[in-house]
Structures are given as structure tokens and as C-alpha cells.
Structure 1
């Protein structure tokens, strides 16, 4: 950690009258602050041996009050909300192995306070017996992460990865604005894969709150558009024989003699025919954004060069018979991202059904998702061309298809683990694989993980 970084530690004991100890924000670059942090760590778990001892870090609370995860998070939020100065980047790391559930009223209060503090909560649930519901909910609400740590010995590496990720944040408070350029033809239907998206009623504007972006990180979001071809249909109907005017004798004579193409009235039709044979690029939407740069401590209200997405319109195959027919298969990257989002959504739905003890419906949902993933995987595998020279002769699309196939295989393996565990033993699924499913859902959706 740097000279300007500050750290606050909060420890808690779950149960009635459980002790809560915490420190204020201490500068790790200061020798006195480091000594206080060292003293706090050394006194964790100290047993009362009868000797006079006063813990300066102990918080005063009622002996009848129950201490749980929400209590600890509230104490951590107290430290955050009461700070006199703010660092460019802030975050909270929460580790718990508690199996106790949290009441809804407590959870609503802590979520409201976390939203006011605007601090992401990265939670780590270690051990098979912990309850992931409260950890997952707090992390999901604050744009943080939830990580399932199966063994205690893996917790250190996961914490190091999370803290390293916090130290490598390139921009924060990232907000993206997507605006439709051709409002007469296109409209945005929805955006999937991102955190929070607010879509306008007319489908022409959408605002996405991305939050923090780290160096080397890539976020893939799918923008679904609707294309309005009503003007093309009207144009085609106006050119149909039913819409043509009745020709007189002079027009019929000119047509038989081949003179109709030389009349002044046909020049617009001639230009339309030429335009039909030209390749055109149509602007679809423009992407702009605002963010905060922690390194420079500056707010950027808009990009210097907003990105414009265009779609290439090829000429009609009927006007140019030599033009090859377009391949209707989707891009492998889009297919892979769709399957990741589908699996994440279905895992969440299945876990909700398991919590409601609707095990047959959860198993049916997982099995159907496995079938869809298997079908898509077969289609992608069959689309990969087999060249004579092996890997050296593969084009870019084949390389992307192979990468997408490997990713879908991994997702399919996760779905198979959950489905088989739910089929074997429902009680063991609630203790073990439920945590694994909550972890994988967030990894697939947010494309972010602190574990290896």
C-alpha cells in the first residue's frame, strides 16, 4: 500500500453479545498508525485471564444484542461515512463463515447505508457452512463481488487478488451514454451484461452505470436493437405493378421501341438503381461517457472522441447475382457472451427455487439450460473449418469460434456440477454447491474473479 492509503479493520463475533472491535482510518505510511494496526491484530481472540485489561478498540453494545454480518458492515459503514477526507478509491472487504441468516429489515437498512456511502463491498464466504445470501445481496447491490472460498488456506490468495484489483483501478464512477443516431430506423430494445441500465421510453437513449474499471479489464455488454423497415415496405409497394399509373399510347410505343430509358422522367429511377448497387454505411448509435480519473484526480464529463457504430449495408442480392449470400451465423464472441449471461440468469433462478424448496423445477431449469448450451456448442464446433495445414491455416473467425467453444464448455461443466449435485443430495447441495453456484453466477455476469 502507498503512503497516502488508509486502512480500517473491523472484527466481529457472531452470536448474542458478540464483541465488535474496530479501528478508525489509519495511515499505513505512518509509524504510529502501523503500531496501532499491529496491536489490533495481536489482540484478536485474546482470552480473559483475569488480569486487568482494557481494549481500546472494543465498541460498546448491549449484551442482549445479537451480532451478525450486518452488524459488522454497519460498523464499517460508520467509519466510512464519518471520515473527514476521502481517498480517490475506496472499497470494503468482508470475510465471513457465519451460517446465520439475516432479517429483512436489517438488510434493507444496511443496503440503504451502503448506497449512501457509495463503496463497493467485496465479500468472501469461506467454508461450506456459511450462508451466501446476505453476502451475495450486499455485494450485488453495491457493484462489488462475492467469492466462495472452499478452504481456509485459499483465503489469503483471494484477498490478495481483491486488494490488488482495488489498487489497479484505472477509472471510477464510469457512466456510459448510448444515443441512437438514426431514430427513424433503429431503437434500443435492451442492454444486457452491464450493471445498471436506464432505457428511455422511446428507445433512443440509454444510460449505463459501469462504476470501476481496472487496467486490462474488459466489460462486454450486448445491445439489442430493433430495426424498423416500414419505409422500405412502403417504397416497395409504391413500385409494385398495382401502384403504377396506366400508360397511354405514346408511352406504350416508347416502351416497345426501347426509348423509355431515355425519357427525363426515368432519370430518378436510374439513379435509384445505381444506389441499390452501392455499398453504404448507416450510423446506428453513438457511445459517450463520463468518469473520474483517480491518478489525475480529475472528472471527465465526456469523451474526447465519442465512438460511432455503423452498419454496412450490402447491395440487394437480386440486383447483383454474383454477390454471395451472407452467412446468417452470429459472431462467436456474441454467442459466447449470450450463453454466459443465460447461464448466470438460470443459475440465479435455480438457487431461488432451491431456497424455496422447489427442487424439481430447479432441476428442470438446469437440465434445460444444459441442453441449450450443448446445442450451441455443437453448432459452433461444426462451424469451425478444418484446414489441411492445421492451426496455421485457421482464419480469425475460426480462432474466435474455438475460444468461444472452450468458454461454453467451461460453463457447461459448471452447470453439470450443479445439476448432478442437486440430483444426488438436496441437503448437501444447500451446504456446498449453493455457494459455488452463487460464486459462478457473479463471475459469469461481471467477468471478474479474485480466485484462481
Structure 2
């Protein structure tokens, strides 16, 4: 029986399933890059199509890099491409705790196939973009509709996303309707689909603004996203051997 069939059949007994990968060595698979005529690691080719482009729910790969000799870049890319996590294990004494934390997290999954839909509550309000990290998101219909594919959620877990909207000028004092939000998910215990119901988000529009106040929660998330984006750019520069440029990007942020 092939690996994918084993995973698919196991869902009849337990819908929450994953792959755990432990490695202490270097990736020996390389592919030729026509762009820079150099041999570079092609990490997508390491994963079967059923993992990269699943027909049903994606199966995450949780990778563990053991010791100082493991290929952290390969392990991180495999986890990222499959929606899993990457952990570093320094020595053998840490293996048991690392695996226990991972399995404990899988056992606490309460929601699957979580999907967030957002709709403009005012046709003049346009959704400009979403910062959702590795979670898939879309903005459609000229900015009137958008959605986020969140996937699995653990007990007491919270996910934050930044939504950028263009709000029109208003000469009328009072609330302005912005966004309608709805969330659907599959209950991991019962397998039934749950819809939380549509909620509307509005803001107050005073005639004059006397004091400009920053929302600390939004500001914190904005800074976090900007830092993560710079880390991705810096890592790409470091992979090309441009260590000075990578350092400059991080120092500037």
C-alpha cells in the first residue's frame, strides 16, 4: 500500500493526521537552475504531488532537525511547503520532549478546514490586501470580497491577520459600515461543519479628530509582519552569498 493511501485510510479513524520527519544529515538532491547556471536545492521536488497539491485536506509535515549537521534550510522549506512546523533538536535528550510537544499539539486540534470570508459592507469600502503569512488568501471582485484559508486550529489558539481597506471620506458623523466577517470550520470531534454567523465591523466617524490614537494590537501585528517580511528577504540574500546585504536589511528593520 502506498504512503498516501495509508494516510487517507487513517482518516476514517482519526481525521487529524500528519507526517513527522527527523533528519540529522544534509540534502543530497540537487537540481540545475537555468537562471544562474548553478546547482541549487529544489525542495519542492522532494515532496510528492499529493502533499504539495492535495486533492482534499493537506497533510502537514512536521520536521525536526537533529544536531548541528542537519540541513535546516531543506527541513524548513519542506515544513513550510506542506503547512507543517520546523523544530531544532540540539541533542538526544531533547528528542522526547520535542516529539511530545508536537503530538500533544496534534491531539488538541479542535477545528479543521477553518475558512474566513470577508465582504465589504459598503461598496465604497474596498479591501486592498491581506497579510496572512503562509495561509492562503484571496482578494476578489475588485476588493469587495476576500477570504483566508486557515486550516487546523488548536484548543485556545488565536490567529491574527492584517486586513488593509480603503475607507471613503465621510461628511456625516456616526458609524461607517466596513466589513462583514464569517467563519466556517469542521469540528474535529464530530466531523460536522460549523458556521459562526456573519458579524459586521463598523467604525465611528467624528466631525473632527482632536486626538490621534494608535491601536497597540494592530501596531504590534504590523511591526511583526514587517519584520517577518524583511527576514524572508534577508534569508534570500544570505542564500545567494550576499551576507552584507542580509545584515543591512536586518539592522535597518
For the criterion TM > 0.5, the same-fold answer is yes
- Root-mean-square deviation (CA, aligned residues, Å) is 2.3
Over 3 Å counting, the alpha-carbon distance change for 1:213 and 1:106 in structure 2 is: closer
**Local SS of the residue matching 2:182:** strand
**Equivalent residue, structure 2, for 1:172:** 112
Determine whether 1:312 maps to 2:196.
no
**Equivalent residue, structure 2, for 1:9:** none
Determine whether 1:127 maps to 2:67.
yes
**Equivalent residue, structure 2, for 1:327:** 212
Over 3 Å counting, the alpha-carbon distance change for 1:139 and 1:84 in structure 2 is: closer
Structure 1: 5+ residue stretches without partners: 1-23, 25-74, 236-275, 318-324, 370-452
**Local SS of the residue matching 1:191:** strand
**d(CA) in 1 for partners of 2:155 and 2:118?**
23
**Local SS of the residue matching 1:310:** strand
**d(CA) in 1 for partners of 2:14 and 2:78?**
22
Task: Kindly provide the CA deviation profile for residues 62-98 of structure 1, in whole angstroms up to 9, marking residues without a partner as x.
Answer: xxxxxxxxxxxxx754632565845221111111111
**Equivalent residue, structure 2, for 1:322:** none
Map 1:117-196 to 2 at 5 A. 118-184=58-124, 186-194=125-133, 195-196=135-136
Determine whether 1:79 maps to 2:18.
no
Partner of residue 97 from structure 1, selected from 24, 35, 42? 24
Partner of residue 179 from structure 2, selected from 249, 267, 285? 285
The count of aligned residue pairs is: 239
Larger of the two Rg values belongs to structure: 1
Map 1:205-244 to 2 at 5 A. 205-229=145-169
**d(CA) in 2 for partners of 1:84 and 1:121?**
16
**Local SS of the residue matching 1:170:** strand
**Greater helix fraction, Structure 1 or Structure 2:** 1
**Greater strand fraction, Structure 1 or Structure 2:** 2
**d(CA) in 1 for partners of 2:229 and 2:129?**
15
Relative to the length of structure 2, the TM-score reads 0.85
Q: What is the CA-CA distance between 1:349 and the residue it aligns to?
A: 1.7
**d(CA) in 2 for partners of 1:227 and 1:312?**
12
Task: Kindly provide the CA deviation profile for residues 268-327 of structure 1, in whole angstroms up to 9, marking residues without a partner as x.
Answer: xxxxxxxx5xx5112110111221101122123x32x3221111112236xxxxxxx122
Q: What is the CA-CA distance between 1:160 and the residue it aligns to?
A: 0.8
- Asked if 1 retains the 8 angstrom alpha-carbon contact of 2:64 and 2:87, the reply is yes
Displaced runs of 4 or more, over 6 A? none
Over 3 Å counting, the alpha-carbon distance change for 1:106 and 1:336 in structure 2 is: closer
Q: What is the CA-CA distance between 1:151 and the residue it aligns to?
A: 2.9
